[in-house]
Amino acid sequence: MLEIYNSLTRFKETFKPLHEGHVGMYVCGPTVYGDAHLGHARPAITFDILYRYLQHLGYKVRYVRNITDVGHLEHDADEGEDKIAKKARLEQLEPMEVVQFYTNRYHRDMAALNVLPPSIEPHASGHIIEQIAFVQKILDRGYAYVSNGSVYMDVEKYAKDYPYGKLSGRNLNDIVTETRELDGQEEKKHSYDFALWKKAAPEHIMHWPSPWSEGFPGWHMECSTMGTKYLGEQFDIHGGGLDLIFPHHEAEIAQSCAALGHESVHYWMHNNMITIAGKKMGKSYNNFITLEQFFSGNHPLLSKPFGPMVIRFFILQAHYRSTVDFSSEALEAAEKGLQRMQEAYARLQKIQPSAATNVEVNGLREKCQEAMDDDLNTPFVIAALFDSTRAINTVHDGKGTISEADLKELKDVWQTFAIDILGLRLEEQGADGGKQKAFSGAIDLLLNIRLQAKQNKDWPTSDKIRNELTALGFQIKDTKDGFEWSI
Ligand code: ZN
């Protein structure tokens, strides 16, 4: 049996991959029947940080994040219809058109958030044959039964041989009282048995042939199957949102033990949830805000548009195991924090070294490293970087000096931790990074022309540029090294 961990405290010392130098990680990906919202951004960013950090530590990482595109009654028991199939029927689309449409949009949103693409992104619908084989293995080992064309996990039998509920700390009695899955109750031996394969109802569009019926796999089956297919029967890390611990991940553990005789996952990692004004995000609260709405500001709960880097920064300001409460004010505060970091980063690129250092720059790399090592403590990394802005500003303002070696180290730490590991795009500002970059570049260009004009004592040109920019709302400050501007 693999020892199961569910945190990575003292990561560097305690994390032992199954194969030296290599890490296999699997993260439950999106169900693609709608636009990605804040609830999708958090796991994507959390595991992006882990992916980046493991690579920083020198591991070769195979990162698998799936696309759930089969559609499941479990996801929408109240409506009784597969969501992808429903959308396809209402909009007269082929189901895979719905899948492709939302997958493209998911990729677009993830790229905006600077989330790196996984190494493999398997679709559940592309792995039906493997899922059928996995179900067959569970049947062969006697932990499942066929009922009316569907296949169910025999949880009671399984729980006699393996500890069911160990990840979530539940026992069978807790599970009985919690089970809300009404579908198929009359076919099951016990309410807590879950579907490995479901016979499709006649109106169900997405179905495939199997030895038991024309139907579709149970939701939990795709992750057990694709995780072990691409990462091996045992692999290092499995991640997802806290809401997936039960039933999804508990069911995955049961499926692996039942089919393979052992667990598959060494470390489980779960990110906590995002609440909106203290409430869980959910259909009943009608408080979903899509990422696109954040970027455009087009939602009644938003005071203005918020750029993808603000969303990323907002999420990284909290530890991944803590809850995060969203509000427009909290995002405005995150935006200010990010701007301070962007300003410090821009200044860091401009400052000139001196013979000696008389500002505090020691220990920054160690502080950042220590924080990442302690279960990916991103808020501490951000705090340490903020601390170092004091030294940057002191040197920038001519009130302190920094040696060439210390400046190089400071730049390297910012590059490593802020840009490479936290994945913050600090060279861009504002809601629309690309446009903002072009805009800032154009203003810098104008002010450099003015600087040249001043040096040539061409006062009419220099004054014209400054006066007209001021009239447009810019504030221009002449400094020792050149200029600074703001709006
Ligand atoms: Zn999953």
Å from CA of 212 to ligand 1 middle: 24
User: Higher pLDDT residue, 444 or 111?
Assistant: 111
Å from CA of 249 to ligand 1 middle: 7
DSSP E strands, 225-340:
235-241, 265-271, 274-276, 279-280, 324-326
The angle that helices 378-396 and 328-350 make with each other, rounded to 10 degrees, is 50
Q: What angle do CA 182, 188, 190 make, to 5 degrees?
A: 85
Parallel, antiparallel or unpaired: strands 265-271 and 235-241: parallel
Q: Could you report the per-residue pLDDT of 222-273, keeping only the tens digit for each?
A: 999 999 999 999 999 999 999 999 999 999 999 999 999 999 999 999 999 9
According to the model, what pLDDT value does residue 300 have?
A: 87
Å from CA of 231 to ligand 1 middle: 14
Banded model confidence at residue 433, pLDDT cuts 50, 70, 90: low
Residues whose CB is under 5 A from ligand 1 (ion)? 28, 223
What six digits make up the tokens of 370?
Answer: 């220590």
Q: Could you report the per-residue pLDDT of 398-413, keeping only the tens digit for each?
A: 999 999 999 999 999 9
According to the model, what pLDDT value does residue 78 have?
A: 42
According to the model, what pLDDT value does residue 76 have?
A: 43
According to the model, what pLDDT value does residue 427 have?
A: 87
Of 344, 346, 350, 310, nearest to 330 by C-alpha is 310
Distances 33 to 29, 84, 472 between C-alpha atoms, Å: 13, 5, 45
Measured distance between the N- and C-terminal CA atoms of the chain, rounded to whole angstroms: 61
Å from CA of 336 to ligand 1 middle: 36
Which residues in 187-224 are b (16+ Cβ under 10 Å) and which e? bbebbbbbbbbbbbeeebebbbebebbebbbbbbbbbb
Å from CA of 169 to ligand 1 middle: 19
Banded model confidence at residue 285, pLDDT cuts 50, 70, 90: low
**Residues forming a β-bridge with 238:** 26, 268
Å from CA of 354 to ligand 1 middle: 54
5-19, 33-47, 157-171, 391-405: segment of lowest average pLDDT: 5-19
Q: What is the mean pLDDT of residues 17-34?
A: 92
According to the model, what pLDDT value does residue 10 have?
A: 59
Distances 354 to 358, 359, 360, 365, 391 between C-alpha atoms, Å: 10, 12, 15, 21, 14
Å from CA of 15 to ligand 1 middle: 23
According to the model, what pLDDT value does residue 333 have?
A: 96
Å from CA of 397 to ligand 1 middle: 52
What six digits make up the tokens of 483?
Answer: 């200029």
According to the model, what pLDDT value does residue 95 have?
A: 82
Domains of the chain: 11-271 (3.40.50.620), 276-421 (1.10.730.10), 433-486 (no CATH)
pTM of the model: 0.85
What six digits make up the tokens of 429?
Answer: 């500002």
Question: What is the average pLDDT score of the chain?
Answer: 89
* Element of type H or E holding 144: strand 144-147
Is residue 299's pLDDT more than 80?
Answer: yes
